[in-house]
């Protein structure tokens, strides 16, 4: 495997915290990341990596995949990857896409392993989750804990419900700051997401996610008041009709005590009687 420090030296770059660049340099962590996919026995024939950096993780993904696609926004780093991995590119095993992961067309990948740029981790995650592919992603520790949180805990929120709507998610490893160059200000963590269909029905996914977002903006209020107070976010023309139609036990709860299935049932009521606009 290529040495991560040597890759940084060959690239002639330094990580820049102001640009959200922290290169993962701990060989042990780099070696472990692909194994979290292998534990699931999933299809690793075409892996997607977002934020390739200098290619330390790319190198390890190439060891287990037939094909790897890397999306790298930084022009200098993308050019370095093309030079460093010229043999793999010429063999048709690696594709380097220079661009923003929120804007470029995603390939038909089978799974993704990525050390995401933390500044856009939420946006990138919710571009990947609807694809229905296994994911191994690295985040700030606090963000990862919110993704896997259960209802009734302080970490539980919109992120928890939205993530768990798409997949079974687990936090598989915490990563110390010292594993990166330069060291970030916070500890990191790795989550593994295994796609699945939720155990509840959602007729309009876009509205469901918007409704959850709206109610969590008023997480200290009862659901009854949150529905009334957030109609401008959920775009309900008739929030009072939702309150009148909903179960009273649900209306007395707060958002952080609501299980995803309860949100789904309430969203269905809101969809039917609340007159949501698109």
User: pLDDT of the chain along its 278 residues, tens only?
Assistant: 999 999 999 999 988 777 778 999 999 999 999 999 988 889 999 999 999 999 999 999 999 999 999 999 999 999 999 999 999 999 999 999 999 999 999 999 999 999 998 889 999 999 999 999 999 999 999 999 999 999 999 999 999 999 999 999 999 999 999 999 999 999 999 999 999 999 999 999 999 999 999 999 999 999 999 999 999 999 999 999 999 999 999 999 999 999 999 999 999 999 999 999 97
Give the pLDDT confidence score for residue 157 in this predicted structure. 97
Answer yes or no: is 22 a known binding residue: yes
Annotated binding-site residue? 100: yes
Burial class (CB in 10 A: 0-12, 13-18, 19+), 220: exposed
CATH of range 4-195; options 1.10.10.10, 3.40.50.720, 3.40.50.300, 3.40.50.150: 3.40.50.150
| Structure confidence at residue 41 (pLDDT) | 85
Answer yes or no: is 55 a known binding residue.
Answer: no
Please tell me the pTM assigned to this model.
0.94
pLDDT confidence of residue 17: 77
Q: Residue 51, annotated ligand binder?
A: yes
């Amino acid at each position: 495997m290529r040495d991560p420090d040597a890759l940084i030296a060959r690239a002639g770059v330094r990580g820049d915290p102001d640009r959200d660049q922290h290169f993962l340099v701990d060989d042990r962590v780099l070696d472990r990341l692909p194994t979290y996919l292998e534990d699931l026995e999933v299809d690793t024939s075409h892996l997607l990596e977002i934020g390739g950096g200098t290619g330390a993780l790319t190198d390890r993904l190439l060891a287990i995949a037939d094909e790897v696609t890397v999306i790298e926004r930084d022009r200098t780093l993308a050019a370095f990857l093309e030079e460093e991995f010229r043999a793999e590119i010429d063999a048709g095993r690696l594709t380097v896409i220079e661009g923003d992961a929120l804007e470029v067309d995603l390939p038909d990948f089978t799974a993704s392993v990525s050390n995401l740029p933390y500044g856009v981790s939420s946006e990138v995650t919710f571009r990947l989750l609807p694809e229905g592919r296994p994911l191994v992603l690295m985040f700030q520790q606090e963000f990862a804990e919110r993704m896997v949180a259960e209802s009734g805990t302080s970490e539980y929120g919109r992120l928890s419900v939205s993530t768990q709507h798409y997949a079974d998610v687990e936090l598989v490893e915490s990563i110390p700051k010292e594993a990166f160059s330069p060291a970030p200000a916070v500890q990191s963590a790795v989550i593994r997401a295994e796609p699945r269909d939720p155990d509840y029905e959602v007729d309009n996914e876009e509205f469901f996610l918007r409704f959850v977002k709206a109610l969590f903006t008023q997480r200290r209020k009862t659901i009854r008041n949150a529905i009334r107070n957030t109609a401008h976010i959920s775009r309900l023309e008739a929030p009072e009709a939702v309150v009148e139609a909903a179960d009273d036990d649900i209306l007395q709860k707060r958002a952080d005590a609501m299980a995803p299935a309860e949100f789904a049932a309430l969203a269905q009521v809101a969809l039917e009687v609340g007159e949501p606009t698109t």
